Amino acid sequence: MARGRCNKKWRLGLSAIAHLAAASIAFLFSFFQFGILMVAFFYAWFFVLAVGILLVLARLGFFALIPTLLQYSVPIVDLINVCLVLFTLLEDAVITLIDAVVIVVDAVSALMGDDDPPLSLIEYEDFTTITYSEFEEDLRLIATECTPIDSTVDIADQWLPALLDETLCPVFRSVYALPYNIGPRLYQTFGGGWVSDPTPWPMGNNCDRVVTTRHGILCGSLAVGYPVLEVIFPSVILGIFILSSGSQLSSLVAWIMTTTTRLVGSTACSVTSALRSVNLFAKFICRPPW
């Protein structure tokens, strides 16, 4: 009976091997469909690839132009300030026009006996310009601090603290006093590297954020081409692959697991049956003659 049970398991195992071979062949043939879809969706993945490459080249080109920008900083700053002045004048003209309309509307409403409160006027923005020293200092800082930021992980190191620190650090600080070092363990597990030190004064930083890079957001923006190439482009290729070979891959994985389980069960059954046969044979040989 045990031998018959083992033979049945081996037949199921061999059947699983046959299905595994068929699933493997189907998965290999799905690569032809993947190639066809790559051609069909050429416009999608090539557009993402081209945008990523252009953004990276634009970043490198900007860094290469920094010495030239520093050399001609005076006319560049003058041109920027002229544009700022023109924009401010245009903005003031629009505000003046809107305020005039608001005054007329309030006057008409008052003459008609309307009791609604008068509309508020728009305030003028302060006039701002940049100096030569500010322009040159910012360019030098960008060249120094932004050059090492050239990957998705580096951008995350700059952006996530700025986005999460103000919200999450007080939470870690509020649980810091819990017993059994629960607060520090939670911080080390989920907040270390992304959130400022929540340890209260005088032992720690008390959520006083230490900015590692003054131009972190700007540096991350300049390096946005790297996430396009490292995250978005592979995601598009992966999506096309799943569309073409996802079902075949899932079937292959399922049959690998099924075949492994059945072969292990068959082997265990055969080994157990063999051990039982050896045990019976040993008892037969070693039995006393009487």
User: Is the separation of the CB atoms in 183 and 177 below 8 Å?
Assistant: yes
- Percent of the chain clearing pLDDT 90 (strictly above): 15
Is 136 a residue whose pLDDT tops 70?
yes
The residue extents of the domains of the chain are: 2-149+213-283, 151-211
Q: Residue 267: what pLDDT?
A: 80
pLDDT digits (tens, 9 = 90+) for 159-194: 777 677 677 777 777 777 777 677 677 766 665 656
Mutual orientation of helices 2-40 and 42-71 as an angle, nearest 10°? 60
Q: What is d(CA 160, CA 213) in angstroms, rounded to the nearest whole number? A: 13
pLDDT digits (tens, 9 = 90+) for 3-43: 566 777 777 778 888 888 888 888 888 888 888 989 988 98
Is 270 a residue whose pLDDT tops 80?
no
Q: What is d(CA 285, CA 35) in angstroms, rounded to the nearest whole number? A: 66
Q: Residue 27: what pLDDT?
A: 86
Q: Residue 61: what pLDDT?
A: 93
Q: List C-alpha distances in Å: 181 to 1, 118, 171, 172, 175.
A: 60, 58, 15, 12, 9
- Measured in residues, the chain has a length of 290
* pLDDT band (50, 70, 90) for residue 283: low
* pLDDT band (50, 70, 90) for residue 227: very high
Q: Residue 235: what pLDDT?
A: 94
pTM of the model: 0.66
